[in-house]
Structure 1
Amino acid sequence: MKNFALIGIAGYVAPRHLRAIKDTGNTLVAALDKFDSVGVIDSYFSKADFFVEFERFDRHIEKLKRQQNIQLDYVSICTPNYLHDAHIRMALRRNADAICEKPLVLNPWNIDALEAIEKESNNKINTILQLRLHPSIIALKQKIDSENKKEKYDVDLTYITSRGNWYHISWKGDESKSGGIATNIGVHFYDMLSWIFGEVQQNKVHVRQKDKASGYLEFEKARVRWYLSIDENSLPKVIQQKQQRTYRSITIDGKEIEFSDGFTDLHTKSYQEILKGKGFGLVDVKPSIEIVHDIRNFDLVTDGEKHPLIK
């Protein structure tokens, strides 16, 4: 049984980590969040100690080690994006491995710094790249690899997930904290695309607004037109009529790739792999962080293939 701490336990994604810790037969010894609406913890680890101040949380971890000989094995990080870097460093200082939600960090140079710190420690930095564990995505990669097609695939990626006014008031609406739309809701898609289709050769941005972004990515094996939005008005009419608030679509050479299901246990699968020493690390995550950094900083252009929703 491994000992876990969890930072950001009041967040949206934290219950998936709590379930993964429990389902893999491990225990949560301490949790931290500035917000105290964390009753969900009772469904998983009611005896875990909870803190709202980092200093007391950090002191408690130290006391567990010195007074009870309880050493942390992992720190799970579910905090706002801009805090990931600092909390990963804290985990390694406590001689624990880090398990961090996406995006691991906001900028490529943050990864370079973490690589140096990881090498100095005996611990590992893991990130959640759950789409790499989705059965449909694994099957797609195997298919692409086996076809060895000479021409590039034509891919359209569309992801619209409606958010209310609260989004823009929260840290997610602050680009300096979230990295903007492409980083916050799209980074795992970019990871999936680079994993399947190879290195990026072109990156053009056509739209970059607070609630939507769109552009063109060319990989070794694919030309990708992508569109991301949190604006419910972006939803196709047929989806609006069904009163659905999310639309996810990937087409390859005009054929729809279905992967709407199969998401419920991907965090548990991620933890299982991490516990085997097969988690996704800094090398794996770097291409997608470079993509979103460039999307955030490149000048807008008018040339190149545009996604159908912005034509």
Structure 2
Amino acid sequence: MTSFALIGAAGYIAPRHMTAIKANGGDLKVAYDPNDSVGIIDSHFPQAHFFTEFERFDRHVDKLRRRGEHIDYVSICSPNYLHDAHIRFGLRAGANVICEKPLVLNPWNIDGLAEIEQQTGHKINTILQLRLHPAIQALKERIAKSNERHSVDLTYITSRGRWYHASWKGDDAKSGGVATNIGVHFFDMLAYVFGPLQSQTASLREPERAGGLLSYDKADVRWFLSVDANDLPDAVKGKKTTYRSITLDGEEVEFSEGFTDLHTRSYQEILAGRGYGLDDVRFCVEVVSQFRNLPIVAGGERHPFVDKHIKG
């Protein structure tokens, strides 16, 4: 049975990792989080050891290794700015790593991780789950057969309350900003479907929302991301708290469903040796890192929601 350790067990995304571990026949041996609100573990691995102090967690993982019960994978669901350090811990503990998005906040962190990966002989995998979504795979196949250049609008609004800005997610130095925190996997998906990036511009960058223009090999993409419920379309307000939309040349691409099991699918691929590694993730990390420092362009092509916000 494949053994796992989990860092960030009290986080929002951790239950999906626990579900994925169990669904793929794994065993969660030990988990860590400074917050002890981790009762969800009982639904999956009630016998897992749990620590609120990293030093004790580290000692336990090392004890398992010394008695021949080493951890096969360290899964990381900690705050974004800690991913780099926790990945290093996992590799040096003699395990492979599965890390939530964004893998790291800046591309130069990837270079350092590549060195440790080579030194230890263990592999870093990241969760790029949209590549596994059936609708996205179908879109990729459709675009590959086309010689046309396309016009795309990407909209993602996921409502967050006041707690968001009081947490690490509201601190750009820790989360990377809203474009990184909720958008990095969408930028990966866009390159996966439309090819290499040619250029990007920023039209909006605020604590609650961001937008810009991305020009890929086969498409120009106007995008808008937000954590403010006020940005939800009128047809959705009061009914749903999340809105996802991709239009291709004015036609809606249906991908509103099918998200719940993508982490389980991701784990299945990783355990089969087909996970996404450092080379796969570098591009989307470069995009969000660059976006944080781009000048805001007042004119030119921009997403209708960006236009509406600026005018309003």
Both structures adopt the same fold (TM-score exceeding 0.5): yes
What's the TM-score, normalizing by structure 1? Answer: 0.97
* Equivalent residue number for residue 87 of structure 1: 86
Query: Shift in Å at residue 60 of structure 1?
Result: 0.6
Give the aligned partner of residue 43 of structure 1.
Answer: 43
Query: In the TM superposition, what is the alpha-carbon distance from 1:256 to its structure 2 partner?
Result: 0.3
**Equivalents in 2 of 1:27, 1:99: separation in Å?**
15
3-state SS of 1:238 partner: coil
Deviation sequence 1:171-222 (CA, Å, 0-9, x none): 0000000000000000010000011111111110011000011110100110
Partner of 2:22: 22
Matched residue type, 1:214: G
**Does 1:286 pair with 2:286?**
no
1:235 to 228, 232, 236: 232
Pair 1:105 & 2:119 matched:
no
CA-CA distance at 1:233 after TM superposition: 1.1
User: Aligned partners of 1:116, 1:60: CA distance in 2, in Å?
Assistant: 26
The match for 1:209 is: 206
Equivalences for 1:226-265 in 2 at 5 Å?
226-240=223-237, 242-265=238-261
CA RMSD of aligned residues (A): 0.8
1:138 is matched with 137
Letter of the 1:42 counterpart: D
SS in 2 for 1:237: coil
Q: Do the aligned residues in 2 keep the contact of 1:34 with 1:52 (CA within 8 Å)?
A: yes
Distance 1:253 1:299 in 2: 28
2:168 to 163, 167, 171: 171
Deviations 1:243-275 (A, max 9, x none): 321111000001100111111111111011000
Cα deviation for residue 156 of structure 1 reads 0.3
Please report how far the alpha carbon of residue 289 of structure 1 lies from its aligned counterpart in structure 2 after TM superposition: 0.4
Contact preservation (8 Å) 1:204, 1:304:
no
Superposition deviation, residue 303 in structure 1: 3.3
Moved over 6 A (4+): none
Equivalent AA in structure 2 for residue 270 of structure 1 = S
The residue that corresponds to 1:6 in the other structure is 6
Which residue in 1 is equivalent to 2:149? 152
> How far apart, CA to CA, are the structure 2 residues paired with 1:72 and 1:122?
15
Q: Which residue of 2 aligns with 1:119?
A: 118
SS state of the match for residue 297, structure 1? Answer: coil
1:302 paired to 2:298:
yes
Query: Is the CA contact (8 Å cut-off) linking 1:186 and 1:228 kept in structure 2?
Result: yes
Q: Distance in 1 between matches of 2:108 and 2:156?
A: 28
Structure 2 partner of 1:269: 265
Measure, in 1, the Cα distance between the counterparts of 2:268 and 2:241. Answer: 31
C-alpha displacement at 1:24, in angstroms? 0.6
Give the Cα separation in 1 of the matches to 2:306 and 2:225: 11
**Partners in 2 of 1:3 and 1:233 — Cα distance?**
44
Q: Distance in 1 between matches of 2:131 and 2:292?
A: 24
Once residues 231 and 125 of structure 2 are traced to their aligned partners in structure 1, the CA distance between those partners, rounded to angstroms, is: 34
1:142-195 CA-to-partner distances (Å, cap 9, x unmatched) read 111122x1x311000011111111100000000000000000000010000011
- Give percent identity, aligned residues only: 61
Query: Which of 178, 181, 184 is the equivalent residue of 1:184?
Result: 181
SS in 2 for 1:163: coil
Q: What is the CA-CA distance between 1:113 and the residue it aligns to? A: 1.0
Deviation at 1:231, TM superposition (A): 1.1
Within 5 A, what are the aligned runs for 1:60-79? Answer: 60-66=60-66, 68-79=67-78
Secondary structure of 1:105 counterpart:
coil
Output the CA distance in 2 between the equivalents of 1:3 and 1:246: 34
Taking the aligned partners of 2:305 and 2:42, their CA distance within structure 1 comes to: 44
Aligned to 2:310: none
Query: Partner amino acid for 2:156?
Result: Y
Tell whether the 8 Å contact from 1:162 to 1:229 is kept in structure 2 after alignment. Answer: yes
